[in-house]
Structure 1
């Protein structure tokens, strides 16, 4: 940092640390866990296309649960003193779920535990994202949000690299691959927990709604009020619709990339190394887009990211070789952190700060709803046409729709301003 004005505050650092902590599990979801699951399922007679579909369905189930919980918990969290406890509750659900995956179990039970862990981490993001107005200023939101994703990517490489070395060299440690993978799950759960402690200890809710009695009852009333409030704010509602479509493709690519790569013949080792490269490359690009946000409008940068993802989806349709998957991984890394970080900070700047959790509850509905739609669509298309490419073709269309609707949302926001 060049000046004291650019230096991170302690609270900003602690907030970023949670991204570093949870990204370890996010990395597992996109790499080791789907490979581990597909190997378990196929060992029990489940076909490759069916195991990919079941993996997609499990993610869809988790997203539906979070979509239902999001607005309710978000509204409750905006009450004074509730945001941190709810954040801690769902964070621990994710941490314990991650550790529980280490226990040997049938593939159906494994998916059940995974769904619980996925609900935990996804729900924690509602409160974590809503903390952004509490820990920094409007002027710094784009930069801080981007730093969260950037350091999350590079930070997750620490436990992931250790896990990868442990799994690939299991025999050298007199371990089976399954046992080594179980140890990796526990290692990542511990990383997530301990790296998150500074935020849990030091975060204080700055913006809140003061409610002394009947907190839950009044939270439901406020939820109904927020639904009414969003409708007149056409720029907010339009952004959420656009976000639904373009983030659909982003989340689906993140969560289904490993299964897709395995289906088209990429080896497990190639998949893991390529996705590790994604984390490393994503780090500087997330920081780059954070810096670019100081010189270019956030809306323009988001538009570039959506267009980039559309090109990625088209390239994925003809993917056949390992080098192509490596190239695709680098391309994804260029835009992955930026589109998520900038969307988060853009939304945080256009909503009422004292109702940040409530609005981020809806933000999560549209984001997780998109994830549900994307993974479900890919799962169905894969089974119907017996190829993962059919699902990717459908996902690519979502980026086109998202781009058009986002430009409409920007126009509405500009007109309102």
Structure 2
């Protein structure tokens, strides 16, 4: 599948293959269900456990979001982007491994928050490397293939192995809790192993020459870039729209498993249903890239927003495992496409030599948004006593994001 890509493009795409194991096992399915199981044993009400999970997600995201712009700005200097990427990559993989060594739900949440910092921090530089590894004309294709390979590889293979250990581990002497913890170690090893092509082959092409006072000049450039963003109406409107709709996407990914558990679905059913999401997302993400070439990235992003709006309404009325399967398939059609095209669309709008600065703001909008969604879900669930109202509240984020995006002109790239 990757024979028509360059060595750098392949290395960049393979990192999505690497870190997608984290996205599905730690963020979406296995860790949330393990967390729910140990909180249930501690006597915590299901809606309160959901709220604590949402608050922990928001707190960790707030930490990385606060520093994202300055981290991105520093990464624009020569030879620093990869060094900073490696530092956060190590934090992410090591803290993921540490999840295997506790049964305390508070400590589990602490390690989980560290994994968010490492995963999200590394992604600031990974996203910004897109402008280094490929041309503007190929960005949609490379970005969508990254997400697609992540779904079919990182989100599927280690997840299947994890489910096999959890469901059938007793055949080889593995208890269910031990099998779950083994899946966390598997995730860390998968992430570390398949990140190597990215680390070896991807080079920083666009950069600014290093100065003696990097921190001082970084803050100076940061404020200048902020002023430029405010003056550029297209970039500014896109970031506002992205702030809302990507928050909805991330919240559904983070809360899907705990929501399913709260409405009465058994964990085995949830794990099998969520397994199908990356398999379906693989061809759909590539299809989004192909359709974007014909209809434009903006229209395809809007299509994804409409699909997610429908998913929120259907989730509110969820009554059976079959309906959860249908809902999972609906989300799978657009999950990768909306994220991949958002990344490449923004990459076309920004100046390449300052891409890290701009992607720092791209990430802060995405990360600060990820604080609002889980908090909104947790608050709505807590005050109503029903997780259904938590998931329904997320529809407002997609609605606002879509309306703002509609105000943008049909601008596909910076001339």
TM-score for both structures, normalised by structure 2: 0.97
Aligned partner of 1:101 in structure 2 is: 99
Q: Distance in 2 between the 1:306 and 1:198 partners?
A: 33
Describe the superposition over 1:316-375 as per-residue Cα deviations: whole angstroms up to 9, x where unpaired: 110010000000010000000000000000000001111111111111111111111000
Contact 1:19/1:152 (8 A) holds in 2: yes
Following superposition of structure 1 onto structure 2, how do residues 16-415 of structure 1 map, counting pairs within 5 Å? 16-28=13-25, 29-156=27-154, 157-410=156-409, 413=411
- Give 1:33 shift: 0.5
Q: Distance in 1 between the 2:413 and 2:134 partners?
A: 27
Q: Distance in 1 between the 2:31 and 2:172 partners?
A: 21
Q: Distance in 2 between the 1:47 and 1:313 partners?
A: 24
Q: Distance in 1 between the 2:309 and 2:289 partners?
A: 21
Contact 2:297/2:412 (8 A) holds in 1: no
- Give 1:125 shift: 0.7
Contact 2:345/2:412 (8 A) holds in 1: no
Contact 2:349/2:412 (8 A) holds in 1: no
Q: Distance in 2 between the 1:37 and 1:291 partners?
A: 39
Q: Distance in 2 between the 1:302 and 1:159 partners?
A: 29
| Runs of 4+ residues deviating >6 angstroms | 414-417
Contact 2:85/2:122 (8 A) holds in 1: yes
In structure 1, runs of 5+ residues without a counterpart are: none
- Give 1:170 shift: 2.4
In structure 2, runs of 5+ residues without a counterpart are: none
- Give 1:259 shift: 0.6
Q: Distance in 1 between the 2:71 and 2:285 partners?
A: 29
Question: Match of 2:191, SS?
Answer: helix
Root-mean-square deviation (Å): 1.5
- Give 1:294 shift: 2.0
- Give 1:30 shift: 0.1
- Paired residues in the alignment total 413
Q: 1:291 to 1:382 in 2, by over 3 A?
A: same
Q: Distance in 2 between the 1:410 and 1:26 partners?
A: 33
